[in-house]
Amino acid sequence: MRYAMVIDTLKCVGCSDCVVACQTENDVPIGFCRDWITETVNGSYPNLDLELKSERCNHCDNAPCVRCCPTGASHIAEGGIVMVTADECIGCGACIESCPYDARYQHPDGYVDKCTFCHHRLEKGQLPACVSVCPTKCMYFGDLDNPNSEVSQLLKNRKHKTLAPEAGTNPHVFYLI
């Protein structure tokens, strides 16, 4: 089992529904977010190229946050999901400093918080909140170890990229381009 997320940048309209769904589902404190939308404009007028992306923790294989954690609070759970155990976290901030995606934040209660791929929903056989609400259905979620899964097929047949691959983290959120 290796969970991965595939996001089609050609279909995303940047509506931020995934952001609100995550904040609601995970009770994210006001002012914080576990996922966000970026808008990238390339080129100069009139030859402009716009790319919209929904970004979050990349649940890396070579996760620097897990490597740097002094207590083992940050760990890789089943399916390759990078998780934080709140009552093992001392709030030192080493994982925040080590994340090239700046995907982690300090929860007002002190511990470090981040995207969990909606671990609690996966256990019930549901999709992550962001994926399930996407109105353009541009987000896909599944198991990369299964060659017939939707995500494996998309990555096999479509051109894709990951964020900051030069950081050497082997991220598991893929963007179709």
Partner 1 sequence: MQEELFTSGRNIPHIDPSLEIWHWPISLYLFLGGIAAGILFFAALFYVLGKEKEYPAAVKFAAIIPPIALSIGLLALVYDLQHKLYTWQLYTTFRIESPMSWGAWVLLIVTPLSILWLFSYYAEIYPKTEEKLQLLKKFKFLATFEQFIKTNRIYIAYALIPLTLVLGVYTGILLSAFNARPLWNNAILGPLFLTSGLSTGAAAIILMAKTKKEKHLFGKIDLALIIIELALIVHMIMGYYAGSQVQLEAMQLLVGGDFTLMFFGFVVILGLIIPAILELIELIGYKVPVIVPAMLVILGGLIFRFVMVEAGQLTRFLY
- 28, 60, 144, 161, 173 from 176: Cα distances, Å: 28, 18, 15, 7, 10
Preceding omega of 165 cis (within 30 degrees of 0): no
Q: Which of 5, 6, 33, 144 binds partner 1 (CB under 8 A)?
A: 33
Using the rule CB under 8 A, give the single segment among 1-9, 126-134, 146-154, 166-174 that binds partner 1. 166-174
| 19 contributes a contact to partner 1 by CB under 8 A | yes
- 7, 26, 115, 165, 175 from 161: Cα distances, Å: 10, 28, 20, 8, 5
Using the rule CB under 8 A, give the single segment among 65-73, 125-133, 134-142, 154-162 that binds partner 1. 65-73
Q: Which of 27, 87, 135, 156 binds partner 1 (CB under 8 A)?
A: 87
**Which string of x and - marks every residue 113-152 that binds partner 1 (by CB under 8 A)?**
----------------------------------------
Q: Which is nearer to partner 1, 54 or 152 (CB)?
A: 54
| 164 contributes a contact to partner 1 by CB under 8 A | yes
| 63 contributes a contact to partner 1 by CB under 8 A | no
Using the rule CB under 8 A, give the single segment among 2-10, 41-49, 118-126, 133-141 that binds partner 1. 41-49
| 106 contributes a contact to partner 1 by CB under 8 A | yes
**C-alpha triplet 33, 152, 157: angle, nearest 5°:** 110
| 91 contributes a contact to partner 1 by CB under 8 A | yes
Q: Which is nearer to partner 1, 68 or 133 (CB)?
A: 68
